[in-house]
Amino acid sequence: MARRILSYLYYIILSKLGPRDIRKLIWRTRKIRLIVSNRGKGHGVLNVPSVLCFTKGLLPNQLVRVSFNHKDRYGQSNLTERILKLEIDNRLSSDEVSLSRTDAFNVFGHQPIYDVKVQDIVPTSALRIEKLSVAENIKLARIQQSETKPPTLEFNQLRQLLSKQSILHNHDVICIRNTNRQNSQQMPQFYRVDCDPSPCLVDQTTSVYETAEVNGFCPFGGFTSPFYLHPSLKDIVDRLTSIYNAYKEKNETVLQLFLTGAAGNGKRLAAKLFAASTHRSFVEGDAYDVCADVISQTEAKIKNLFEKAEKTQPCVLYVGNANVLGYDSTSGVDQRVLNFFCEQAEERPQITVVLSCDSDMLKQTPESVKSIGLYTLAIPHMDEEDRFLWVRQFIPENLAHFVVQKTSGFSLSEMLELVKNIKYKQTKSKKDAPEQEFAEWAIDQRNANFADAIGAPKIPNVFWDDVGGLEEAKQTVVESIQANMYGSQGLKRSGIILHGAPGCGKTLIAKAVATEFKVAFLSVKGPELLNKYVGQSEENLRKVFERARQASPCIIFFDEIDSLAPNRGKNGDSGGVIDRIVSQLLSELDKLHNSSKTKVFVMGATNRPDLLDSSLLTPGRFDKLVEITPGRDFSTRTKILEAVARKVRLHEDVDLTEIAKACDEEMSGAQLSALVSNAAMRAIIERVQQIESGQLQSKTGELRLTQKHLLRSLHEMTEKSIKSI
């Protein structure tokens, strides 16, 4: 290798090539890549690094002819040449050059291009072409966009345009950022240039005239702010773009598409980026806004919506909540309204209509509405890879791995809000980098908001320390949940059933699970799902599992599950409601295994396991029965008493071991908890009596539970149980 380098240098030294030829010889094997970004300022500017300028023999602010080699969608190579002005940008690597998004649109047009390479960069001085002259005047025509009140050019904006010499070609599009005086935000406005000669230079000596507005393609839809996409959403945008490009080559009629996905997954964003990728304006509407009580009013609103879009055509018209399009409260969906909608769209082939609705409303959407779209595309949930690739662009990679493990089921909007909350905590704590505790706080905020949104109960503040004894049962529950959440597909345990006598701690274990694992928790009681209407009970059960899949990782707890899923064929209801609910429950449990990315664990509690349908207890559904037994030895009863007495002040003379030995062998955890609470109530009553009789000042001493109170409470409970027998 060293010998080859030396021979190459020896050849250069002995050759009679000039400096420019030597630089070309060194650089001839390098390929120059084009990057489209918003780094550069001005119009008609090619940004290059200093190293490339040296190797090509170029100078800053020099006029050059750039040859671009690119391929179209059929793979055919094309050569495009353009005269541009050089500017130095050392943020680029040695084999990169960059154009602004507007300049890239002017060079290549609105048709899709692929695999762009810079073939050559030659100074205009070496081409023996006429020197570019400064234009005496140019005309600017604003391209119609979706703003209701188009702004006018002001002196400051013109001064920004002409502050330094720029190159313009006839029918170029330039971007001028207008400042909104109400919120001080800069909005990009696009103008088409008419100039003679073309190309020409413009500077402060050039006169500028504004002419009437025109329709035309808008560079990247005016969507200039960067937004990072995850692979699944990028694939949807690419598919929409491919469908549009293929359809427009063969047809001149309107293209209508149907887009669905979970709320917050990026339906509107996908439509907006679809408009940007095809260089068209984006117009937004909502089906709720066009619905009216009278059909003629609905038609008038639909016509107004299309007329608004027509002003900015070619454009993408996005209609949200399409499931209510044409809906009439008396007769359902009115076909007349849908026909009128399609007629308005067909009269304007330059408008691409994108209808959208949430996936949970897709089943309720009539087929006549779905059939409007030529293609139906569904935006999937973000999987682990999508979330990691998206979130690592905002936070360090090690923290991104932690966030990805804790955010299964998060939508794109929730991930965006999560990043904002992490940045907020970082700014508030004045840290140089985000920390794990910031991410945990942000995740807890989302889980709390999601629980409120879907109507899930608040997670109780119960910990494992509050569950006395039951060590074996707790260990089994923990192992089962960990295997479901973090184990492989073959080792997953989909659910367990806790059974035992009333009051032994089944529900308490479920509450502790909800707190300790910090995941979404849905508590469901069997009778809550029953409904008198045919099919509604099964629909309620489907919604429970659908909410759980959305909140994944999630735990569903069915309390008193024997009332929801008893043995089939032995129920006296005439409609067979219970049998259908059992069948629906079995179907939903089986669906949990359809995807390895779904992390939903199901728990049930019952004191009559003999009443359960036998098909529930097969592997893959409820894999294990866990018996929760009352404290049968004094050591277990002691642990239960210690757990329930944690929040009560005990006197020094209290010996919980002696109390446990004095208790009945079959006392449950609920009875032991009642023993302590009754003793505490008796202590309070005694304190009040002492204060009323004057034996004790109200603020002296501290209320403590003594051995005497506990023994007396135990004696009263024993007497009640004897009388009941």
**580 token code pair:** 């259908």
**Dihedral pair phi/psi, residue 192, rounded to 5°:** -95, 135
* 8 located within any domain: no
- Does the CA dihedral 548-549-550-554 come out positive or negative? positive
Tokens at 497, concatenated? 């059933």
Mark whether 406 and 511 lie in a shared domain.
no
Would the pLDDT of 411 be above 50?
yes
CATH number, domain of 683, equals 1.10.8.60
- pLDDT reading at 705 higher than 70: no
Residue 705 exposed, middle or buried by CB count within 10 Å (0-12, 13-18, 19+): buried
Cis peptide before 619 (omega within 30 of 0): no
Assign 361 to helix, strand or coil.
Answer: helix
Distances from the Cα of 309 to the Cα of 146, 245, 345, 598, angstroms: 8, 20, 10, 41
Give the Cα separation of 262 and 239 in Å (integer).
19
For residue 643, being part of any structural domain is answered with yes
CATH of the domain at 564: 3.40.50.300
For residue 10, pLDDT beyond 50: no
Judge whether 86 and 58 are in contact, CB under 8 Å. yes
Q: Considering the domain boundaries, does residue 459 fall inside one? A: no
Q: What is the pLDDT of residue 676?
A: 75
What CATH number does residue 200 fall under?
3.10.330
Within a domain: 572: yes
Q: Does one domain contain both 352 and 476?
A: no
* Residue 140 · residue 210 · CB < 8 Å: yes
- What is the residue type of 41? K
Tell whether 401 is covered by a domain. yes
- Paired residues of 78 in beta bridges: 70
Q: What is the pLDDT of residues 448-461, one digit of tens each?
A: 776 666 555 556 66
Q: Which residues of 501-537 are buried (b: 16+ CB within 10 A; e: fewer)?
A: bebbbbbbbbbbbbeebebbbbbbebeebbeeeeeeb
- Same-domain check for residues 49 and 118: yes
Q: Is residue 6 part of a domain?
A: no
156: phi then psi, degrees, rounded to nearest 5: -65, -35
Residues 606 and 712 in one domain: no
Among 302, 102, 256, smallest CA distance to 190 is for: 102
Q: Using a pLDDT cut of 70, give the percent of the chain over it.
A: 75
**CATH code of residue 417:** 1.10.8
Give yes or no: residues 244 and 217 share one domain: no
* Whole-number Cα distances in Å, 173 to 169, 243, 332, 440: 9, 26, 47, 47
Residue 169 — very low, low, confident or very high, per pLDDT cuts 50/70/90? Answer: confident
Query: For position 12, what pLDDT does the model report?
Result: 47
Name the residue with higher pLDDT: 558 or 7: 558
Nearest CA to 492 out of 478, 506, 482 is that of: 482
- pTM comes to 0.72
Domain containing residue 645: 634-724
Last residue of a domain, one of 379, 403, 425: 379
Find residue 211's DSSP bridge partners.
141
Tell whether 540 and 593 lie within a shared domain: yes
- 178 pLDDT exceeds 50? yes
- Based on the fold, state whether residues 642 and 545 are members of the same structural domain: no
Which residue among 427, 454, 481 closes a domain? 454
Same domain, 622 and 605: yes
Counting the structural domains of the chain, the total is: 6
E strand or H helix that includes residue 287: helix 287-290
Which pLDDT score is estimated for 718? 67
Tokens representing 621 are 């559904």
Which residue(s) pair with 146 in the sheet?
none
Residues 128 and 31: their CA atoms lie apart, in Å, by 26
Could you tell me if residue 131 is inside a domain?
A: no
Residues 61 and 120 in one domain: yes
pLDDT reading at 16 higher than 60: no
Name which of 260-264, 300-304, 379-383, 481-485 the model is least confident about.
481-485
With H, G, I as helix, E, B as strand and everything else as coil, classify residue 568: coil
Q: How far is CA 19 from the centre of its chain?
A: 56
> If you search the block for the tokens 């209290």, which residue do you land on?
654
Residues 341 and 424 in one domain: no
Q: pLDDT tens digits for 674-701?
A: 777 777 777 777 777 777 676 665 555 5
Specify whether 396 is located in the same domain as 522: no
Asked if 672 contacts 644 with a C-beta cutoff of 8 angstroms, the reply is yes
**Cβ(605)–Cβ(498) below 8 Å:** yes
528 or 89: which carries more pLDDT confidence? 89
What is the token pair recorded at 600? 């939903």
How far does CA 4 lie from the centroid of its chain?
A: 55
Residue 366 lies in a domain: yes
Q: Is residue 259 located within the same domain as residue 343?
A: yes
- HSE-up of 74 (CA within 13 Å, CB side)? 4
User: DSSP assignment, residue 323?
Assistant: G
Task: Using the 3D structure, point to which of 187, 203, 221 is the last residue of a domain.
Answer: 221
**16, two tokens:** 């009679």
**How sure is the predictor about 564, in pLDDT bands with cuts at 50, 70 and 90?**
confident
Over residues 295-318, the pLDDT tens digits come to 888 888 888 989 888 888 888 999
d(CA 365, CA 346): 22
